[in-house]
Amino acid sequence: MQFHPDAAKIKRWREERHWSQDHLADLAGIGSRTVQRIENGEKASYESVMALAAAFNVDVVALTVDPTHQAAAHEKAEAVKAVAAVRLSFWIHLGSYILGMIIFLAISASSGGNGFVMLVPALWWTVGLAGHALTVFIVTIVVRFNHSDETV
């Protein structure tokens, strides 16, 4: 039976103890190539995981990856990326809005007429920007609500 050990944890624990891969392999009674494969994220036999657990003096469960936790962490990371993308799109929209308003002011000033001739497009663009801001707010709230036990 193949197990999927937590490669990052094993490597971190080994490095915290200032052990080489060869030293860990000697302590566990397994081959150094096996330690290399495990630290590269490949699956390992139950016996290899048990030997590593004995070398670290921990339970086997401490070295295995919890698929539920891993899926939740992946989902949270994707949600954070989505919120960041929505926020970035808003900042880009805001920057183009400011530039557009400057151009609208220049057009109105150069038209020689009375008043702000670009009023209607400016108002509709402002409505669009406000809608975009509302979207960012709602997405942020929804993600925080769905991950209320974690910080987003």
Q: What is the pLDDT of residue 95?
A: 98
Superfamily of domain 2-63: lambda repressor-like DNA-binding domains (1.10.260.40)
Average pLDDT, the chain: 89
Residue 29 dihedral angles phi and psi, to the nearest 5°: 75, 30
User: Taking the C-alpha atoms of 116, 118, 121 and 122 in order, what is their torsion angle to the nearest 10 degrees?
Assistant: -50
pLDDT of 68 higher than 80: no
pLDDT of 26 higher than 90: yes
pLDDT tens readout for residues 105-135: 999 888 877 788 899 999 999 999 999 999 9
Domain range annotation of the chain: 2-63, 67-146
- What is the mean predicted confidence (pLDDT) over 129-152? 85
Nearest partner of 39 among 27, 25, 60, 26, judged by Cα: 25
Q: What is the pLDDT of residue 129?
A: 97
pLDDT of 99 higher than 50: yes
- What is the mean predicted confidence (pLDDT) over 25-36? 93
Strand bridging mode 44-45 / 2-3: antiparallel
* pTM beyond 0.75: no
Q: What is the pLDDT of residue 151?
A: 47
DSSP string, 29-74: TS-HHHHHHHHTT--EEHHHHHHHHHHHTS-GGGGB--HHHHHHHH
30 CB neighbour count, 10 Å cutoff: 21
pLDDT band at residue 152 using 50, 70 and 90 as cut-offs: very low
